[in-house]
A and B are shown apart, each in its own frame.
Chain A
């Protein structure tokens, strides 16, 4: 007998050999379980969209407002396209806006950390990592939407494709995030937001000087941009994971300290 036939035969035998169910015993069990169900107190559970909606109240709104302001300023600069310095360095405002966005996201992350969200999350449905990731996704989504405005204006003006424009703005954004997370990981950033602000300023200066080099934004340099994007994205992900891991460790330390 072939293996498959044998297996089919076993399945058939199981299906055919239905053991009789004692209806009286079954009824007794159902009665008993009905009593358990009646006593059971179910806490209505929120659906996933509802959970996301409740988390919106805990997002750093001041950071998002700063982001909106940043977007409005850069968009306004592109609307006033006749300014001479924009003619010389058209990518400068968008690049700076991108750097500021990257810095604001890490600042938001640090503020949550400093406000003791990790400790609070220990008693919540979501763990700290989930909360941090959720807030970063929400903030990041708003930021990307905000950055899209100057990106569209600039792309229209410079006749650059959407993919290239995306690269020109996301690379400084991610690079700033990498530097800021590195600062956070050294330990200085956790104590003071000024260190993070200073790192952001340095990144803004570097991006600003890069934005004045028109050859960097030529189609020939696109390959380099892609390579840098991939590398920076990998570092960003690794650093973010390290930051969240350390937050968990700090929380465990705090819990152990409280127990002692």
Chain B
């Protein structure tokens, strides 16, 4: 039966409400085989979200598995609104519980788990460096700002949906997002200054 669970390669994560609504309708009408198809659509996206959240690939697989397990268990009573946001909500809650019980997100410099799959090409190394840079930016944020940045720019969710997932006011989400972006911009500025100084030092040494 697992061959019915198909992973979908997508260029960007998209909201596909019509497809999801139809799938949920058919699943709730008794066609449970379609659950596999639905998991296939969202597996990679949720897994990467968990990896960004907890920075531990091994445990991220477990959390993703748990996310879909809970979804399967509750699909009977699920009232369709936005399936993507619903899955993100389950995954986010699991990640929060994991971080509360297990261990905090590793600090910058311990990001070996975030190696992107881009082989050994030059562009691959550039993207790997960019991933580490992004991870560093996220590490500079408090958890509540980081998860909003992730849901907004990785999950491409609307602010209202994020507010529902986090169970906070829309204005709180907006304010945390603004503060998070401000902090990230400041860290970016510091990083650029540091790189500028390094380049200057190298020039001085060679001269």
Contact = CB atoms under 8 A, between A and B. Distances in A.
A227 interface: no
Nearest to A13: B134
Given A7-B181, A26-B7, A26-B43, A14 B134 contact: yes
A36 B30 CA distance: 15
Q: DSSP majority for the A interface?
A: helix
A36 B114 contact: no
B154 interface: yes
8 contacts: A3-B181, A17-B131, A21-B47, A37-B32, A37-B36, A40-B75, A42-B30, A44-B30
Interface of B: 1-2, 4-5, 7, 12, 25, 27-30, 32-33, 35-36, 39-40, 43-44, 47-48, 51-52, 57, 61, 64-65, 68-69, 72-73, 75-76, 113-117, 127-128, 130-131, 133-134, 137, 149, 153-154, 156, 181, 184-185, 188
A7 B76 CA distance: 38
B162 to A, nearest CB: 14
Contact of A10 (B28, B44, B149): B149
A11 interface: yes
Interface stretch (A27-35, A54-62, A164-172): A27-35
A25 B184 CA distance: 33
B64 A44 contact: no
Contacts of B154: 14
A14 B137 CA distance: 12
Contacts of B113: 19
Contact of A32 (B40, B65, B75): B65
Interface size class of A (residues with CB under 8 A): 20 to 34
A30 B5 contact: yes
Contacts of B32: 37, 40, 42
Residue of A14, A17, A20, A44 with highest tally of chain B CB at under 10 A: A17
A85 B153 CA distance: 76
Contact of B134 (A7, A17, A29): A17
Contact of B36 (A27, A33, A44): A33
A19 B115 contact: yes
B39 A30 contact: yes
A34 B36 CA distance: 7
Nearest to A37: B35
B7 A6 contact: no
A29 B48 contact: no
B205 to A, nearest CB: 30
B116 A36 contact: no
Contacts of B75: 40, 42
